[in-house]
Each structure stands twice: as structure tokens, then as C-alpha cells.
């Protein structure tokens, strides 16, 4: 029988997914931000509970820096035979700009052959119809490889003044054109010198529930 509470299970799934993707145990701040835990003390309390139950452990001797890692008990919760965890961290607009949602929601188990061989991948839920001619529909799950640099013509997730959108990305003279894949919608133009523009990453896959 699972000895974890629903909240502990959620936190452990996030830890496993992050270590799968990055090879590094997340910081207290990253855990708190992803799981909406308001203080580092709150994060520490949850981690101590997972440590008592044998899912994580502290390593490093006296006088040396100590770190936290997953135990075999935690890793045995999922099959690692070509399967990696991808954190589902919110939704992104495929339409007009929409406030970015970055809260961790769940962990998706995906065959590693479906994802890039390197780099961190996150999953986002698509909201809107501006990319339907590219086969990206409202409600689809978009897999995004985190990177700050994308090439012209790639499908990218971009933050503009704190709001997120998924579009074809084109860097032009003095501006960025975010081009929808919907003949009924106009592109979005942003000026790098005037607007707060951040590339979240490039789209590397899409999944749809039938």
C-alpha cells in the first residue's frame, strides 16, 4: 500500500520528473514555486517526511557540503526502462496572449525516444486555435524543450510582458514576429528594445487525447 499522502505523492512525482530531466535535485525555491508552497520551511517539512519514509536521503559527511538525492525506493515507483518523467507545468495560449501559468500540475511518463536526447523538456496545455494549421489544437499537450534561443521558423513558446503564447518565431529587423498557423488570425509583433520578451523554448512534440 502507498504510504504517501496525496500531497507527498505530488511532491515526490515532481522530484522524480525533475531529476529525470536535469539530473539535479531541485532547490527548495524551485520546489516551492512549482508546487505553490509559500515558504522554505514548508518545503523542508515535506522533504523531512519523505526522508523519514525512505524516499529521499541526505548525503555527505561531517564538514562537507551535503546534498539530497532520491533513494532506490523512490526510483522503484516508476519504470526507468526508457521512460522519463516530464512535468506538466501549466498552459499556454495558441491565440491571443494569455497570462502564463507555470504551476506544476502532474508528471507525464513518456518514452525517451519521443523526446530530444538532451536538454530539459516540460509539458504545457494548449489554449486556443491559432496553431491549428500546424496540427496543434486547443487542449493538446505541447512538449517544449527549454532554451533561450530558437531559429526563425520554429514553433516556440514565448513570454511577452509576462504573458505566454505559442507561435512560429521570426526575428526581423528590430522586432520579433509571432506568426499564427491560422489564416483567420494576424501575427503578433513585439519590439525587442521596448517589450519584455523571453523565449521559454521550442516545441518538440504534441500529444492529444482522443
Tell me how far apart the alpha carbons of residues 26 and 34 are, in angstroms, rounded to a whole number: 10
Tell how strand 141-146 and strand 56-59 pair up: unpaired
Which residues carry out catalysis?
A: 130, 167
The residues, any chain, with a CB within 8 Å of residue 14's CB and separated by 6 or more, are 26, 31, 34, 35, 87, 104, 107
Q: What are the φ and ψ backbone dihedral angles of 12, each rounded to 5 degrees?
A: -65, -40
In total, the chain counts a number of residues equal to 210
The residues, any chain, with a CB within 8 Å of residue 131's CB and separated by 6 or more, are 94, 137, 155, 166, 167, 180, 181, 182
CA atoms within 13 A on the CB side of 14: 26
Q: Are 19 and 25 contacting, i.e. CB atoms less than 8 angstroms apart?
A: yes
Find the radius of gyration of the CA atoms of the chain. Answer: 19
CA atoms within 13 A on the CB side of 38: 0
Amino acid at each position: 500500500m502507498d504510504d504517501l499522502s496525496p500531497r507527498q505523492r505530488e511532491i515526490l512525482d515532481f522530484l522524480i520528473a525533475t531529476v529525470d530531466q536535469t539530473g539535479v535535485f531541485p532547490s527548495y525555491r524551485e520546489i516551492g514555486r512549482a508546487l505553490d508552497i509559500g515558504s522554505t520551511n514548508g518545503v523542508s517539512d515535506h522533504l523531512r517526511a519523505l526522508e523519514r519514509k525512505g524516499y529521499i536521503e541526505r548525503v555527505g559527511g561531517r564538514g562537507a557540503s551535503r546534498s539530497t538525492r532520491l533513494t532506490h525506493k523512490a526510483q522503484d515507483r516508476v519504470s526507468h526502462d526508457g521512460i522519463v518523467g516530464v512535468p506538466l507545468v501549466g498552459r499556454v495560449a495558441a491565440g491571443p496572449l494569455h497570462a502564463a501559468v507555470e504551476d506544476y500540475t502532474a508528471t507525464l511518463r513518456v518514452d525517451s525516444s519521443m523526446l530530444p536526447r538532451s536538454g530539459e523538456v516540460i509539458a504545457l496545455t494548449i489554449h486556443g486555435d491559432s496553431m491549428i494549421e500546424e496540427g496543434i489544437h486547443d487542449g493538446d499537450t505541447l512538449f517544449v524543450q527549454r532554451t533561450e534561443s530558437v531559429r526563425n521558423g520554429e514553433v516556440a513558446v514565448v513570454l511577452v510582458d509576462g504573458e505566454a503564447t505559442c507561435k512560429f518565431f521570426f526575428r526581423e529587423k528590430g522586432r520579433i514576429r509571432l506568426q499564427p498557423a491560422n489564416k483567420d488570425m494576424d501575427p503578433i509583433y513585439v519590439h525587442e528594445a521596448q517589450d519584455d520578451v523571453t523565449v521559454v523554448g521550442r516545441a518538440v512534440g504534441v500529444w492529444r487525447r482522443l
